[in-house]
Structure 1
Amino acid sequence: MIEIKNLKKVYAGVTVVNVPHLEIKSGESIGLVGNNGAGKTTLFRMILDLIRPESGEVLSNGKNVSGAEEWKNYTASYLDEGFLIDYLTPEEYLYFIGGLHGRNKPQVDEYLASLTEFFNGEILKKGKYIRDLSKGNQCKVGVGACLLQRPQLLMLDEPFANIDPSTQFRLKNILKTENKNLGVTTIVSSHDLNHVTDVCERILLMEKGVIIKDIATSSSTLSELEEYFGVGQTTSTNTGIDNEENH
């Protein structure tokens, strides 16, 4: 589904992403891990054609994302609250997103009913604008909007960061269902090693813009990652170049 070739991004003379080749097959569940400044969010943004690389290309179903539009119809993503329209209420925003994807109000309502536990009574019918919600509840709206689109490719950047433990558990179940039952390709970036190894069958470890490990998740993966981050490497210097990753 996704193929990356010789992708490179440079800021202020510093290479922040350098991925010679990466292939993500349809139906895979991918976890992207790494310290702040590793290049995770920059990589996400290039896959989504939000920023352009210095060189290389990202192919989605064989077509370069920078020159095609079709991939947008089957791709849903939530990276941060900047993806939301914060002067709308959650209902207004979700109806708007549904409308963009050919769903009328009753169809949206029917789907949102399936997210009742995930929303936990904190999102709908509260009379609040999205900008007045907590970071965690804004994330719920963003994820809900992604799921509403019924995507083939779902990309989430740090979705567990600001939500409570109960919602984290529910989100993990949702992601597993989307991947295993519906065949959705999922790419999740997370600092929480427990969550990402629980949800994803393949882990990409990124450091200073380079994917240094690409491993199939097994019973030893969590321990391997914990050893790497706790003992196996020196602390990376945060240059401030990739501040968008500092959640």
Structure 2
Amino acid sequence: MIEIKNLKKIYNGVTVVDVPHLIINKGESVGLVGNNGAGKTTLFRMILDLIRPETGEVLSNGEVVAGHENWKNYTASYLDEGFLIDYLTPEEYLYFIGGLHQQSKATVDETLVKLSDFFNGEILKKGKYIRDLSKGNQCKVGVASCVLQKPELLMLDEPFANIDPSTQFRLKNMLKELNRSQNVTNIVSSHDLNHITDVCDRILLMEKGVIIKDIATSSSTLKELENYFGVGQEAGELTKDI
């Protein structure tokens, strides 16, 4: 699904991402974890061709992402509120996204009914523009727009950060169901180790732009990550092995 080759990004002489090789297979649910400044968002933006690397390339289904368009037909992403059109209402924005994917208003409405629990009565028919919503509710709109697109690849950057506990639970179930029933490839970053290990069957740990560990999620993964982030480089459980 995704293959990264010799990908490197440098800002002001500092290497912020350096990934020699990485493969994410179709149908995998992958979590990306790391402290602030680890390079997670920069990596996401290069996968989505939002910024260009100094060296290397990203391939999606065998096609180079940079300069090509086909991958956009099956990829949905929400990294932050900058992905939204803030002067629209949620309904206007979601109908707009649906229209880009040749969906009628009635088809969009069918999907929105299925998302009613996720919205928790806080999004639709409130007469608010997206810019007037809380960051958590903006995130709900962003995630809903991704679901509308019926993607094969879904990328979310810190989706649990600003939403309430009930919505976190619903989002986790949604991601699991998309992966299980539709074989959607999920790539999700999060600082919440409980959520990310619950949702993802594979964890990538980044530090200073480098993926220092590629972990198949097991019953011990959460403890392993907690040990690492609890005592930093003194944690003996995680070593560079990829």
Superposition TM-score tier, normalisation by shorter sequence: over 0.9
Q: CA deviation at 1:231?
A: 1.3
The match for 1:76 is 76
The match for 1:237 is none
The match for 1:139 is 139
The match for 1:4 is 4
Q: CA deviation at 1:181?
A: 1.0
Q: Counterpart of 1:233 in 2: which secondary structure?
A: helix
CA RMSD of aligned residues (A): 0.6
Question: TM-score, length-normalised on structure 2?
Answer: 0.96
Q: For residues 201-224 of structure 1, what are the alpha-carbon distances to aligned partners after superposition, in whole Å with 9 as ceiling and x for unaligned?
A: 000000000000001000000000
The match for 1:98 is 98
Q: Counterpart of 1:59 in 2: which secondary structure?
A: strand
The match for 2:189 is 189
Q: For residues 12-67 of structure 1, what are the alpha-carbon distances to aligned partners after superposition, in whole Å with 9 as ceiling and x for unaligned?
A: 00000000000000000000000000000000000000000000000000011002
Return the alpha-carbon distance in structure 1 between the equivalents of residues 41 and 67 of structure 2. 21
Q: Counterpart of 2:168 in 1: which secondary structure?
A: helix
Return the alpha-carbon distance in structure 1 between the equivalents of residues 35 and 21 of structure 2. 21
The match for 1:244 is none
Q: Which runs of 5+ in 1 are unaligned?
A: 235-247
Q: For residues 50-92 of structure 1, what are the alpha-carbon distances to aligned partners after superposition, in whole Å with 9 as ceiling and x for unaligned?
A: 0000000000000110021000000000000000000000000
In the alignment, does 2:57 pair up with 1:54? no
Return the alpha-carbon distance in structure 2 between the equivalents of residues 233 and 83 of structure 1. 35
Q: CA deviation at 1:232?
A: 3.5
In the alignment, does 2:114 pair up with 1:119? no
The match for 2:237 is none
Structure with greater contact order relative to length (CA < 8 Å, sep ≥ 6): 1
Q: Counterpart of 2:182 in 1: which secondary structure?
A: coil
In the alignment, does 2:67 pair up with 1:67? yes
The match for 2:207 is 207
The match for 2:220 is 220
Return the alpha-carbon distance in structure 2 between the equivalents of residues 18 and 36 of structure 1. 16
Moved over 4 A (4+): none
The match for 1:39 is 39
In the alignment, does 2:109 pair up with 1:109? yes
Return the alpha-carbon distance in structure 1 between the equivalents of residues 41 and 229 of structure 2. 19
Return the alpha-carbon distance in structure 2 between the equivalents of residues 174 and 155 of structure 1. 14
Return the alpha-carbon distance in structure 1 between the equivalents of residues 181 and 206 of structure 2. 28
Q: Counterpart of 2:227 in 1: which secondary structure?
A: helix
In the alignment, does 2:161 pair up with 1:169? no
Alignment of 1:151-162 (within 5 A): 151-162=151-162
Q: CA deviation at 1:152?
A: 0.1
The match for 2:239 is none
Return the alpha-carbon distance in structure 1 between the equivalents of residues 135 and 107 of structure 2. 27
User: Alignment identity in percent?
Assistant: 82
The amino acid of 2:28's aligned partner reads: E
In the alignment, does 2:87 pair up with 1:87? yes
Q: Counterpart of 2:206 in 1: which secondary structure?
A: strand
Q: Counterpart of 2:147 in 1: which secondary structure?
A: helix
The amino acid of 1:43's aligned partner reads: L
Return the alpha-carbon distance in structure 2 between the equivalents of residues 217 and 181 of structure 1. 20
Return the alpha-carbon distance in structure 2 between the equivalents of residues 103 and 223 of structure 1. 44
